[in-house]
Structure 1
Amino acid sequence: MDTTIEQPGDGTARRILLVEDDRELGPLLLRLFRGAGYAADLAADGQAGLHLGLTRRYGVLVIDRGLPAIEGLDLLARLRRRGVGTPALLLTALGTVGDRVAGLDGGAEDYMVKPFEVDELLARVRALMRRPAGARTALPLGAAEFDLVSREVHGDDGAVTRLSGREADLLRMLAETPDRVFTRAEIVRRVFPDAAAEALVDTYVHYLRRKLGAGAVHTVRGAGYRLGAL
């Protein structure tokens, strides 16, 4: 297990956990983040990344998918199951639409395909740094509650419903402003920016209704969608 550890800098919000097994790219990215003013830890395999992710607090996780010991998506899933809600960016050579959907549904907030532009990577990290984990951990859904970290909806009858990453993103957007109607175009911009297909909105609304009940998302004819009643 190969781990390079930087000591804490100016707090969690400026710390990055980089999990990358490429012996050239990993140290290169570590220097890049340090040069941009971040404190950073580098883990060269999934097991080391899991250990650091569970024992230290970070502002952003940058995770390669093709990792030894624990694959990147599995690593992220394990962290999420243990309550680690730190925003995560998957950095990988796997770039099909299916790969991106799997990554975002698997709990990542962002997804970049190698090769990439350094300036764009830093910009995406800055954007994720503005989404600190733990700022809000749950949202009310009538008598139910939506856990933002575990992506689970807890019913007043004790039932627990697990959502995918995209389902959770859509429900969160609706639940944060429950009286607002969102157009399909707005939902695409905020939940499906990599796909830019309004048909996905209807698909994921269907998924939420199937899991949470037909009334979970209300259709406002000619306008869009808003949170319904669970």
Structure 2
Amino acid sequence: MSGRLLIVEDDPRLGPIMRDVLSTGWSVRLCESAEQGLEAVLAHGFDAIVVDRRLPGMSGEELVRELRRRRVGTPILMLTALGELRDRVEGLDAGANDYLVKPFEFEELSARLRALTRDYAVPVAGIVIGSWTFHPDDHSIDSPYAGRILLTEAESAFLAVLAAEPERTFSREYLLEAVFARGESPITVETYVHYLRRKTDRDLIQTVRGSGYRLGTPA
């Protein structure tokens, strides 16, 4: 098994075919929109992502930009029916690591994914939060007292949202939608704030009364 692969493709014929073909070497999840893809990435870790450039609602390019804004370092291959140089450059500038023009051969797609996961190096530097260092890609945080502390995928995704904009106060409603699956209760946000504080430091997450939460500055 090569690892966990997310495919974001809205074509009702191509998406399932890609999933079935690539399932021989990957554990594959298929999403039909960028919004579903973003939710899946924030809730679950993947080793590689394939994104169609043209998607309903949020475009594939916008999805890639949003993932990079949130410091998701997973290698991304962008699929596009647009073969012009400008279109390829825009996809790479958005943060994609490679592109493939439709129609394509599955052997080439598989080879490019192997190359991405073989050659891609995840940055070792973490996000400094006070005296702590957060590593979103491997779901951990370095404590100045106790060494490395492992986080769950949901805890890491929650903290990554706060760390992406450390000066911003996020409402409970925003955090619920950005991090958790649809149908979760608003109390879930408070629960995960409690989990993270219990594992790390109470000052890691600051409560802004009447507004929500923001990143703190723990000693």
Q: How many residues align?
A: 127
TM-score using structure 2 length: 0.55
Structure 1: give runs of 5+ residues left out of the alignment.
Answer: 1-9, 139-148, 150-230
2:4 to 3, 15, 19: 15
Residue 127, structure 1, aligned to residue 115, structure 2: yes
The CA deviation at 1:69 is 2.2
1:96 paired to 2:84: yes
Q: For structure 2, list consecutive stretches of 5 or more residues without a partner in the other structure.
A: 127-136, 138-219
Indicate whether 1:118 and 2:106 are aligned: yes
Q: Output the CA distance in 1 between the equivalents of 2:44 and 2:122.
A: 14
Q: CA deviation at 1:102?
A: 0.6
Q: CA RMSD in A?
A: 1.7
1:33 aligns with 2:9: no
2:57 aligns to what? 69
Check whether the contact 1:86–1:133 (CA below 8 A) recurs between aligned residues: no
* Aligned AA (1:136): V
**Deviations 1:143-175 (CA, angstroms, capped at 9, x unpaired):** xxxxxx9xxxxxxxxxxxxxxxxxxxxxxxxxx
Of structures 1 and 2, the one with the larger relative CO (CA 8 A, separation 6+) is 2
Aligned to 1:5: none
Structure 2 counterpart of 1:93, which letter? A
In the alignment, which residue of structure 1 is the partner of 2:97? 109
- CA offset at residue 135 of structure 1? 5.0
Secondary structure in 2 aligned to 1:130? helix
Structure 1 letter corresponding to 2:78: L
> Which structure 1 residue ranges, 4+ long, deviate > 3 Å from structure 2?
131-135
Whether the 8 Å contact between 1:87 and 1:131 is mirrored in structure 2 is: no
Q: Structure 1 residues 52 and 66, CA, compared in 2 at 3 Å: closer, same or farther?
A: same
Is the Cα contact below 8 Å between 1:87 and 1:133 reproduced in 2?
A: no
- Which amino acid counterpart does residue 66 of structure 1 have in structure 2? R
Q: Distance in 2 between matches of 1:117 and 1:18?
A: 16
**1:37-85 deviation digits (Å, cap 9, x = unpaired):** 2101100011101101111111111000111121000001111111101
| AA aligned opposite 1:124 | R
2:19 and 2:79 map into 1 onto residues whose CA distance is 14
Question: How far has the Cα of 1:133 moved from its partner?
Answer: 5.7
Query: What is the match of residue 171 of structure 1?
Result: none
- After TM superposition, give the deviation of residue 94 of structure 1 in Å: 1.2
1:212-223 equivalent positions in 2, closer than 5 A: none
